[in-house]
Amino acid sequence: MDERIEEESTEKVPLNFLERIIEDDLANGRVPDNTIVTRFPPEPNGYLHIGHIKSICLNFGLAQKYQGRCHLRFDDTNPEKEDMEYINSIKSDIRWLGFDWGKYEYHASDYYQQLYEIAVRLIQEGKAYVDSLSAEQLKEYRGTLTEPGKNSPDRDRSIEENLRLFEEMHQGKHPEGSYILRAKIDMASPNLNLRDPALYRIKFASHPRTGDTWCIYPMYDFTHPISDAIENITHSICTLEFEDHRPAYDWATDIDGIEHAPHQYEFARLNINYLVMSKRRLLNLVKLGIVDGWDDPRMPTISGIRRRGYSPESMKDFISRIGVAKVESVVDYSLMEFCVREDLNKRATRLMVVLDPLKLVIDNYPDDKVEYFEATDNPEDPSSKTHQIPFTKELYIEREDFMEDPPKKYHRLYPGNEVRLKYAYYITATSVVKDADGNVVEVHCTYDPESRGGAAPDGRKVKGTSHWVSATEGVTIEARLYDKLFQTEYPGKATGNYLDDLNPDSLKIVTDAKAEPEILNAKVGDYLQFVRNGYFCVDGKVSTKEKLIFNRTATLKDSWAKLKEKMGV
RNA sequence: UGGGAUGUAGUGUAAUGGUAACACAGUAGAUUCUGGUUCUGCCUUUAGGGGUUCGAAUCCCUUCAUCCCAGCCA
């Protein structure tokens, strides 16, 4: 026991740069009460996507790891874009991932009064002023990346005048766009965020939470750092594009009365190839009707992947595997697929479902006989339960599992070849029935009664095993076969328009798949594997008892498909 | 032509002055009542150039490349 502990403590667990910072701060007594406090600060103006999962796992994960806490704070400072609908979806998405913010739920709008008072104080201290420049003039005065800006004529307005005007803005006496409150920092700063950034703007918009109480709303650069300070956030983690805002963050938290100013740290946001992640582009897909909605199983939104059948565990594993750093990076989609397959392989219930049915008739099997075979729910689980599958003379097999004229290395069913029907019998194909166009519509075979259970007493082996469903005892279901929404690694890279790279085959609907009766027990949230076809789940939105609809979460790896391609078949 | 940041296998992440590694992808094989799983092998790496040092991915100088910033968005 002691040895083990020693072993563990000497074992070097690689830390990411954020963990290093936190451990260093903790070790050097820089953290009040030795309690780190992080926050996840979504703006409620859209649905959470996979990129947010990284931020959620980071903020909640770090808090968990160091026995601190993580606040959920809605960054609701722009009433024109935000909505209660989003607030609710965000909460349910975070819960789905398995994180709990407990009582620490906040809204930046809770701080509007405090923010207002701080703004007044800044004016009194000569650190902020009311500017009447128009948006266009503001732009002119700001300068460019290479040229410094110039001071607004209003910059030297008296404190009394500023106070009066700001109060009038507050009271709604001035129209939108007529005035803004600006920080007085440095119009010549090489960092544009420091060229007297806007602190407050006038908006006669109703806020989802504060209603019409306010007609002036604080800006991000002012609200965010102060909200962090109010909540005693110790480590404020955000994405790389805010790096340039850090001086503004420090400016805002450098006000009297803040004992332990929070600090901002930036990490690289998550990018995944074959996916688009920006809210704008996702919204567009929804608006144009290219997808079924924000929760379309092809969408990289949390609600989308959830409906697709991804498990929260697999996504958390994915996030832990990609790591955290400051380098802009693009993660392979295949890693995410690997993670979901690995997780689902361990937990999915196996079912036999034929997606593209081909009739198979066993000529030497009794006409009306029904016998049952026992199938393991999950062979990966030693304590797995079993269920019964009915077997009859007429069955369906996968059309792909029979070829009249097979290529080399094809070891499924073809005339004269013997294969196994999983759990049941060895069969040998004898003849085919074709339609007028020459398509095979029925395969006839004979079975070996001695091979009952799927093995021959004489020890002879077969190379192929097919799944099957009884033609008379099976049930019909709908299967929705999803693939990547985009067919290029970087959608839009070639033409500039990401819609040019949509995958025309991102959804194939199979309305007459045949399934073993056990499928009737499948519930929303169950993880299933249709043997040899992939991982599936019950569609939580449209599936009904009368019409069962399943979504394909991911295919199984298919080395035969690769081989076929290589052989040029 | 301003400022900020970043460069390690195809991709992502370790190694924090002491033998460049792990995972995914790729590839070859073994096992298998899922052409799945599992197992084994292989492939490929410090952006370039200089310097410090017994020793550099790591420190210094320099060049190059990429990303972000000119909302009254966050």
Q: Closest Cα partner for A91 from A122, A61, A56?
A: A56
The catalytic residue among A43, A161, A394, A442 is A43
Task: Determine the distance between A476 (CA) and B31 (C1') in angstroms.
Answer: 35
Q: What's residue A7's pLDDT?
A: 38
pLDDT value at residue A256:
66
Contact between residue A66 and residue A190 where contact means Cβ atoms under 8 Å apart: no
Give the confidence band of A11 by pLDDT, cuts at 50, 70, 90: low
Cβ–Cβ contacts within 10 Å for residue A295, how many?
20
Nearest nt (C1') to A217 (CA)? Answer: B72
Distance CA A488, CA A449 (A): 51
pLDDT reading at A469 higher than 50: yes
Q: What is the spatial distance, in angstroms and rounded to an integer, between the CA atom of A3 and the C1' atom of B55?
A: 35
Interacting residues of A100 by C-beta distance below 8 A, sequence separation 6+: none
Position A13 confidence tier, pLDDT thresholds 50, 70, 90: confident
Mean pLDDT of A1-30: 73
- The confidence band for A523, taking pLDDT boundaries of 50, 70 and 90, is very high
What are the distances in angstroms from CA A104 to CA A28, A40, A73, A74?
27, 11, 8, 11
Q: Does residue A404 come out as left (phi exceeding 0), alpha (psi in the -120 to 50 range) or beta?
A: alpha
CA of A223 to C1' of B30 (A): 61
| Residues near A375 by beta carbon (within 8 Å), at least 6 away in sequence | A350, A352, A386, A387, A388, A389, A422, A423, A518
The integer distance in angstroms from the CA atom of A62 to the C1' atom of B25 is 29
Query: For residues A374-410, b (16+ Cβ closer than 10 Å) or e, as one string?
Result: ebebbeeeeeeeebebbbbbebbbbeebbbeeeeeeb
Annotated active-site residue A460? The verdict is no
Q: Where are the beta strands (DSSP E) in A246-351?
A: 263-267, 349-351
Residue A269 annotated in active site? yes
A407 CA to B35 C1' in angstroms comes to 14
Distance of C1' in B58 from CA in A244, Å: 27
Looking across all nucleic acid strands, the nucleotide with the smallest C1' to CA distance from residue A238 is: B74
pLDDT band at A567 (very low <50, low <70, confident <90, very high): confident
Per the CB < 8 A criterion, the answer to whether A465 and A314 are in contact is no
Instruction: Enter the tokens of residue A172.
Output: 């709604």
Nucleotide at minimal C1' distance from the A327 CA: B6
User: Which CA-bearing residue is nearest the C1' of B13?
Assistant: A323
Which nt is closest to the CA of A412, judged by C1'? B35
- Cβ-contact A77, A219 below 8 angstroms: yes
Segment (H or E) for A142: helix A135-142
Average pLDDT, chain A: 95
Inter-residue contact A56 to A99 (CB < 8 Å): yes
CA of A533 vs C1' of B61, distance in Å? 59
- Dmax (CA) for chain A in angstroms is 102
Give A12's pLDDT tier (boundaries 50, 70, 90): low
- pLDDT, tens digit, 9 for 90 and up, residues A474-497: 999 999 999 999 999 999 999 999
Structure confidence at residue A503 (pLDDT): 98
| Minimum CA–C1' distance nucleotide for A220 | B74
Average pLDDT value for residue range A66-75: 98
Please give the protein residue whose CA is closest to the C1' of the nucleotide B15: A14
Give the CA-to-C1' distance from A329 to B56 in angstroms. 26
CB A270 within 8 A of CB A51: yes
> 3-class DSSP state for residue A322?
helix
Distance CA A525, CA A307 (A): 9
Is residue A244 pLDDT above 50, yes or no?
Answer: yes
> If you measure CA to C1', which residue is closest to nucleotide B22?
A321
Distance, C-alpha A314 to centroid of its chain: 11
Q: Is the dihedral of CA A46, A50, A51, A55 positive or negative?
A: positive
- Nucleotides on chain B that have an atom closer than 7 A to a protein CB are 1-8, 10-16, 23-27, 33-38, 66-74
Res A529: pLDDT? 98
Query: Which residues, 6+ apart, have CB-to-CB distance to A75 below 8 Å?
Result: A41, A42, A43, A44, A108, A220, A223, A224, A227
Owner of token pair 């007044």: A120
Angle at A455 between CA A450 and CA A461, to 5 degrees: 110
- A453 nearest nt, CA–C1': B33
What is the CA A340 to C1' B37 distance in angstroms? 14
Question: Does residue A366 have a pLDDT over 80?
Answer: yes
Catalytic option among A121, A127, A269, A399: A269
Among residues A193, A172, A195, A200, which one has the least CA distance to residue A184?
A195
- Of the residues A203, A279, A359, A484, only one is catalytic, namely A279
| Integer CA distances (angstroms), A545 to A476, A509, A511, A514, A537, in order | 12, 18, 15, 16, 14
pLDDT score recorded for residue A87: 97
* Rounded CA separation A519/A543 (Å): 13
Which residue approaches B14 most closely, CA to C1'?
A: A14
Task: Output the pLDDT for position A178.
Answer: 98
Find which nucleotide's C1' atom is closest to A562's CA. Answer: B35
What does the pLDDT read at residue A258?
Answer: 73
* Nearest DNA or RNA nucleotide to A345 (CA to C1'): B37
Distance CA A459 to C1' B54 in A: 67
- The percent helix, strand, coil of chain A (3-state, each to 5) is 35, 25, 45
DSSP strand E in A60-141: where?
Answer: 69-74, 105-107, 128-131
Spatial distance between the Cα atoms of A33 and A66, rounded to a whole number of angstroms: 12
Other CB atoms within 10 Å distance of the CB of residue A325: 12
Nearest protein residue to the C1' atom of B25, measured from CA: A334
With both helix axes pointing from N to C terminus, report the angle between A50-65 and A312-322 in degrees, rounded to the nearest 10: 80
pLDDT value at A4 more than 70:
no
**DSSP sequence for A483-538:** --SBSSSSTTTTTS-GGGGB-TTSEEEEEEEEE-GGGGG--TT--EEETTTEEEEE
pLDDT at residue A5 tops 60: no
- Token pair, residue A540, equals 């939580």
Ordered by where they begin, the domains of chain A are 31-269 (3.40.50.620), 279-349+478-567 (2.40.240.10), 353-467 (2.40.240.10)
Compute the residue count for chain A: 569
Q: Considering only CA atoms, which residue is closest to the C1' of nucleotide B73?
A: A78
**And the tokens for A429?**
């194909």
CA distance A28 to A175: 51
In angstroms, the CA A345 to CA A310 distance is 12
Closest amino acid to nucleotide B32 (CA–C1') = A463
- For B7, which residue's CA is nearest its C1'? A327
| Beta bridge pairs of residue A181 | A130, A200
The mean pLDDT of A380-405, rounded to a whole number, is 97
- Segment A140-160, tens digit of pLDDT: 999 999 999 999 999 999 999
pLDDT, position A144: 97
Is the pLDDT assigned to residue A8 strictly greater than 90?
Answer: no
pLDDT in tens, A291-342: 999 999 999 999 999 999 999 999 999 999 999 999 999 999 999 999 999 9
State whether the Cα torsion A183-A188-A189-A192 is positive or negative: positive
**pLDDT confidence bin for A28, thresholds 50/70/90:** very high
**For A190-197, what is the mean pLDDT?**
98
